[in-house]
Amino acid sequence: MSFVQGKKTIKPQYAIERLYELTKDQDTFITTEVGQHQMWAAQYYKFKKPKRWMTSGGLGTMGFGLPAAIGVQLANPGKLVVDVAGEASILMNIQELSTAVQYRLPVKIFIINNQYMGMVRQWQELLHEKNYAESYTEALPDFVKLAEAYGAVGIRASTPEELDSKIKQMIKSDKPVLFDCVVEKGENCFPMIPSGKAHNEMILSPEDERETKISKAGKVLV
């Protein structure tokens, strides 16, 4: 696993890496929605204790993370609870932000916002000759204003140099926080096993991606 973090845009892997570094010294609970962000959270957030990672796993339940975070926060008052989310998944149950506000549950929603249903886009790129269909979202809400409308705190970071200070601001808040982390749009998540391939034929990196040919039989399986 590797990535190159530039100076202009935030890589999603880097966002998770910085979230870990700034929360590792306290007892932190992580929930996730479903998609690329879920995979990156599993890869780049280094869990040190059991029962700190709440995710729907292979069930693929979009919208799982926020209700899960609310439950975890109720069960662990005073602890830091972060829902690592995608901008598409969080919209499945965003209305539950009102529950967090009503019951004064300071959950943090850390949105990895690439304006795509990222895992769908990635499969369309690799398996369908970049014939993208219904995976891009242009009409997203302003998450900062949406948070404020609910009575929560809205924060946005879009450059690497401001990321740490904004994450610290999120952590210090005693209210529910909706953090809009604007990341590089076209980043793919690896490793992945192409359709029709075996485990020992998984794509490990963008370099592998260019060398790996997806068979017609594999494409039929998707």
Q: Is the pLDDT of residue 208 over 70?
A: no
Specify the pLDDT at position 135.
Answer: 64
Specify the pLDDT at position 210.
Answer: 54
- How does DSSP assign the chain, residue by residue? ------SSSB-HHHHHHHHHHHHTTS-EEEEE-SSHHHHHHHHHS---STT-EE--GGG--TT-HHHHHHHHHHHSTTSEEEEEEETTTGGGSGGGHHHHHHTT---EEEEEE-SB-HHHHHHHHHHSTT---S-B-SS---HHHHHHHHTSEEEEE-SHHHHHHHHHHHHH-SS-EEEEEEB-TT----SB--TT--GGG-B-SHHHHHHPPPPHHHHHT-
Q: Confidence class of residue 218 from pLDDT cuts 50, 70 and 90?
A: low
- By C-alpha distance, which of 207, 164, 209, 135 is closest to 10? 164
- By C-alpha distance, which of 122, 60, 67 is closest to 90? 67
Q: State how far the Cα of 101 lies from the Cα of 87, in Å rounded to an integer.
A: 20
Specify the pLDDT at position 142.
Answer: 97
Where do the structural domains in the chain lie, given as residue ranges?
A: 12-189
pTM here is 0.88
Q: Is the pLDDT of residue 213 over 60?
A: no
Q: Is the pLDDT of residue 212 over 70?
A: no
Q: Which fold has domain 12-189?
A: Rossmann fold (3.40.50)
Q: Confidence class of residue 107 from pLDDT cuts 50, 70 and 90?
A: very high
Query: Across all residues in the chain, what is the average pLDDT?
Result: 88
For the stretch 109-159, pLDDT in tens is 999 999 876 676 767 777 666 776 766 777 899 999 999 999 999 999 999
